[in-house]
Every structure is written in C-alpha cells, then in structure tokens.
Amino acid sequence: MSALAAKPRVFAFERNDPTEESLQWLMDHGVDVALGKPMWEKGFKRYTDDEIIAAAQGFDGVIGASGANFNRRVIDQLPQLKYIAKFGVGVDSIDVPYATERGVLVANTPVDNQSAPVSEHAVAMMLTLRKRLNEWTPAFMAAGGWRGDIFCDVIAGSTVGIVGLGRIGRGVAQRLAGWDVKILGYDPFVKEPPPGVEFCSLERLLAESDVVTLHAVPTPENRGLIGAAALALMKRDAILINTGRAWLLDYPALRAALAEGRIGGAGLDVFETEPPDPRDPLFQMKNVVVSPHSATWNLAGTKSVGWFAARNMWAMISGEGEATIVNPEARRNAKI
C-alpha cells in the first residue's frame, strides 16, 4: 500500500450496496469515509445543490450515483474536491468539462454485468405492455375482473426499433433473436450492425417500429432526441421503452402524446427528476408501466458497482491500480 501524506477524506453521498463491504475496504486502507444517504431506503431524495455543497465540504473525494449534480457552482464551492467516483456508466450529472478545467478526476463504472439486467428489463416492459399485465393485476381480479374488454397482443411478427447499439442495445437484440421479430437499429457511432439488426435512419425506425426502445449514450447532441416531432412519426399503437437515460426523451411531449392517444403506451425506468413527483400523470395512465430506475437494482450488481467505484477511488487517491477515468486530461490541472 502506498504511504499517503495525509489521511484522505471521502464522502459517500449515496450508498448503493447494503453490505457496505467496499466502503469498509476503503476505510481499512486508511481512507476516512463519511456515509451519506442509503439508496435502498424508502423516501430517498436527491441532494439540492446547496445540500451537497454543505455535506461534501472539506472532502477530497465523493462517491455516488446521480443523486447530486456536480455542476459548475457545486464544483466551485468544493475547493478541496479532487476525485468523483460515479456509480454507473453515465456521467451526465457531472459537468465533466468543467471538472477537467478544475483538475477534478471523474471515474465511472462500466460494469459488464449491467447490460444483461437492463436488456432483460427492456424486454420485460415490452411484454408487460403487449400482454397487458399492468392491467390484468391481482387488484383487477380481486374486484371481480375477468378478461373484460382488455385484449393482449403479441411481439411475434412485429418490428422492434433499437436506438443505440452499445452493449445494452445489442443485448436487447440478442434476447429478441428467434422471437420472429424484425429488428431495426439506429446508432450513428456504430459502423456495423450486430447480427439480425438492420441499420436505418431514425426517421424510418420511428415510422416502422411497433416497439421503440432507447439505449443511446447521452451526449449534448441527443438531449431530447425523442421529442414531439419524433413521437409524431410513431405509429398510433406503438410503444416506447426508456430504460436508458431520461436525457434522451422529452417527457412533457411524451405525456401529451400518451394523453392524446398518439402512441400506444410507454415503459419507463428513468425520469427527468428522480425520484419523480408522485402526482405525475404518467402514474395514472393504464398504458404506462414504470419502475423506479431499478433495471440494475439487484444485490450482485450493486455490490459489483460498489467495489468498482471503491477501487476507482483508491486508484485515484493512491496511484495503485487503474481507475476508469473519463477525463484523464484533468491531471494537467490537478490540485496539489
């Protein structure tokens, strides 16, 4: 173990692993770890900018998911901050260019075992909506319901459009192989389509697909990629699945399209504000199925991500091992 000049201080502003073994490992390595909000407790809330500024004051590093925004103001108000270890792949809750300018290293956790649960979750939402399982519920039957005027549909023979063909988008395509579906794909960053996928324009994908599922990486260019104009291209009975990033979808436009019957339904695991407002009209719509950003929320997965983030933090602090740093150029501006 490298000798550290002073005991580093890290604030785990969000804790995603109920065993907390990875945080204890950091403590055993001489890191002073302060514990923030456990993500597994009910009533979880994000930090406001003022709250994270107050809570993270004086710490060298922070660990967490997307429960706080590390924007310019927050970074400016945390002069001691040197390291951010993010749970998950996406870093859209962090102003990475400004962190780089200020010499703050940012690491993420591109864990391979996240692609399977998210791919499965997307397919589960497709089936739930097509099979009307969100309407044929125990409550429906307890009230005397039996079939009624609810008619389910099939996936076989339909067209599924996948927006974003990274690991998760490819995972969806693999899981639909052999299901007798036509798969269209759109990803301007991928040159060769995976087996069984036909690449096409986004416009054609939206117009021809019975199911559209979003898995693109958030970039400045694709913020609100699926907005009113894109939704207007979709079939009236098509369903939209978003287990990717809220960044990709214009939620007010989606609410309007669903309310007006311009698309058939939606399956959502991510929201523009998390946790979302319980009064959101999406929660009252029969053609919507939702989950609380839980596609990867399994114990093995949370432990794996927790260990990945802890090792990232230790590598950044000590220089031992390698961290998956998204802005290595920040080292040129690093704080001494």
CA-CA distance, 106 to 62, in Å (whole number)? 10
Closest C-alpha to 202, from 185, 219, 181: 185
Q: Which two tokens stand for residue 239?
A: 């369903």
CA-CA distance, 170 to 223, in Å (whole number)? 21
CA-CA distance, 54 to 47, in Å (whole number)? 10
Classify residue 275 by its DSSP letter. Answer: S
Closest C-alpha to 280, from 240, 251, 247: 251
- Provide the CA 3 distance to its chain's centre, in angstroms: 36
Query: 245 an active-site residue?
Result: yes
Query: 293 an active-site residue?
Result: yes
Q: Which two tokens stand for residue 182?
A: 């036509």
CA-CA distance, 275 to 225, in Å (whole number)? 22
**Which of 274, 311, 329, 332 is flagged as catalytic?**
274
**Which of 293, 322, 331, 332 is flagged as catalytic?**
293
List, by residue number, the catalytic residues: 245, 274, 293
